[in-house]
Structure 1
């Protein structure tokens, strides 16, 4: 990035914010949520669906941060936190009731305030 319009630190802050939004839209479109496959056109329905999917995305991030995965040679995770979280949520919710209730309750606890601050410390 190059600009003479503003200070570099302010420009990078804006870019980080933009990148988070890009990651959200990528996850909503092609990385698991497949928003475009709904073919919805009514604005109120699209708005509601987008709100629900955004909550699901945040939950996936919270759960994914807690998941262990292999690291690549450069030190980054082999799978994104969104993918890891979404897989864990699908796995826990698709099992028979009773056998995975503890796991599902554990994943629901990620909505508590002390858990949601973990996202800020990781950089999401």
Structure 2
């Protein structure tokens, strides 16, 4: 797998496959924490949808209702916000909101996070 940082204008990133090479494209001009979450989302596509070239991830497409986008978003949320973050004894004083800011996870995607079989937000 190759990760390429390049100027993409309003596009956060996208996943492509050329021959046998998986490529994650990340916008080099977005904040570091957004690059992190974009990479996690596109990694979700690479793992879950390896033979598809996905459309561009933009801010206004984060809440897409397309099945593959929801799956990639869920993958990213679970990767970036592991269940251990919700154990107050380990991370006292560190809130979920601190975590999503640090990892660049949009608040709107927090509803995809499941801990102990329950969504943390309705």
| TM > 0.5 fold call | no
Structure 1 or 2, whichever has the larger Rg, is: 1
Determine which structure has greater relative contact order: mean sequence separation of CA pairs < 8 Å that are 6+ residues apart, divided by chain length.
Answer: 2
Q: Please identify which structure carries the higher strand content.
A: 2
The answer to which structure has the higher helix fraction is 1
TM-score under structure 2 normalisation?
0.31
With the length of structure 1 as denominator, give the TM-score of the two structures: 0.30
